[in-house]
Amino acid sequence: MTFVANVRQEEAWNGEEGRTWADHYQRLDRMAAPANEHLFAAAGIGERDRVLDIGCGTGDTTRIAARQAARGHAVGIDLSTPMLEIARRLSAEQAIGNITFERGDAQVHPLRDAHFEVAISRAGVMFFDDPVAAFANIRRSLRPKGRLAFLCHRAGDDQTDVIFDSLAQHLPTPDPQELLGGVADFTDPAHIRDVLNGAGFTAIATSPVEYLTELGNDAAHAADFLLDVQLAGFVSGAEETAMARARSALAEALRRHERDSAVRLVASAWIVTAQIE
């Protein structure tokens, strides 16, 4: 039985949005890959650790965790059946034996008590319906002295603002943080500390990081990917002419970021770490 608190996310990630992200997982993982260095440096996974990967998607970070915990085990949890199917297939193809995946909402999923040494997440903690309750559930799954490390979006001098600025000229654009489905709750480090304190964590630290995220081979390629995949839910009801203008404006704005056969933008994030007694 799958326990779910956030029904909207359950529907989205098992519907068209989840299938779209699963279909394009290689490109999405390539976009996020530069964040991995920061996340895993903070996590400090040991060879024998048991690791929980929250919002694991198609399992890229879970597979990295399993390799680092070569004599331990990694468990990935996510709501999306389409993405978990790919996660399991890729892990089998890569002969990673110390890995399992569970479908569930980490806020209410019956995680094993006091089982994991480390919990990680690459932008997967921003969709909780009740963040304090979710992190309390995750805390219960950690052993004494267990550690938490996750990456979340950070507001700042973020070049990805060019995307929303371009679309706003032609489409009714919501606030970028609202579009990202709750990530605004974690742009404020004081709020992060309040949530984690409320969930029972200690030694909470937030560190700003930046990395280059690759959007496409050239400006047109990147614009098509953003509008047809990553932001597809946002633009799905757009009028055809307005959509064409938005696509053209976005490609033009991204052209200045073309370097060495790729479009790359600077993304800003927090690395958050905490532990339990």
CATH of the domain at 31: 3.40.50.150
Confidence of residue 50 (pLDDT cuts 50, 70, 90): very high
For the entire predicted model, the pTM comes to 0.91
Quick one: pLDDT at residue 180?
47
* Domain-located, residue 99: yes
Quick one: pLDDT at residue 72?
98
For the stretch 64-117, pLDDT in tens is: 999 999 999 999 999 999 999 999 999 999 999 999 999 999 999 999 999 999
- Give the number of domains in the chain: 1
* Domain-located, residue 49: yes
Long-range contacts of 221-226 (CB under 8 A, 24+ apart): 221/263, 222/251, 222/254, 222/263, 223/247, 223/250, 223/251, 223/254, 225/24, 225/27, 226/163, 226/250
* Domain-located, residue 226: no
The C-alpha atoms of residue 104 and residue 107 are separated, in whole angstroms, by: 9
Parent domain of 80: 7-156+182-212+268-275
For the stretch 169-206, pLDDT in tens is: 888 755 554 544 444 468 889 999 999 999 999 999 99
